[in-house]
Structure 1
Amino acid sequence: MISCSDYDYIEIACMYRYSVKLTMKVGQPLEGIALDTARDESNNECLKLNVKERDILVILDEINKLEVLVENPHFSEVVFK
């Protein structure tokens, strides 16, 4: 389960609709626009990400690193524990 402090970074990315790159614990990285948090059909906490005009759900526990691809005053990257 993702920590509350790490969850704050997810919320900031969604609030400002940042373009982000997600490095996954397993598999290929994903790039898209952070939209919102949601739960999938298995009740996993997810990040709703717009990738090439298509919304997908990415399970938060499967994300290793989140990088913001635009300059901003909040943060540039966070590595999840």
Structure 2
Amino acid sequence: MISCSEYDYIEIACLYHIPIRLVTESAQVFEGKAKTTNYDHQRRECIVIDTLCGDIQIPTSTLVSMTALTDNPHFSEITFQQIS
């Protein structure tokens, strides 16, 4: 689980459909346009990104970092600290 202040950056990315790169705890890298947040079938909170292969859900509890792929006034890179 990430903190509320870090989660705000996910919401900003989705609100402005910012192209992002996400890195997970398992070192997987995903790139796409941030779309929305929702819950998966395991009831985990996820960010949905639009990739070249279609929409994918990535659980926010697995995120290590989020990097903006375009300049924007909100953030360039966020490192997530998972909390219990």
Aligned counterparts of 2:8 and 2:73: Cα–Cα separation in 1? 15
Q: Secondary structure at the match of 1:65?
A: strand
Aligned counterparts of 1:71 and 1:55: Cα–Cα separation in 2? 23
> Which runs of no fewer than 5 residues in structure 1 stay unpaired?
none
How far does the alpha carbon of each residue in 1:10-61 deviate from its partner, in whole angstroms, 9 at most, with x for none? 0000000000001111032110010000000111000011111501110001
Cross-structure match for 2:62: 62
Determine whether 1:27 maps to 2:27.
Answer: yes
> Which runs of no fewer than 5 residues in structure 2 stay unpaired?
none
* TM-score between the two structures when normalised by the length of structure 2: 0.92
Superposition pairs of residues 45-60 of structure 1, within 5 angstroms: 45-60=45-60
* TM-score between the two structures when normalised by the length of structure 1: 0.95
How many pairs does the alignment contain? 81
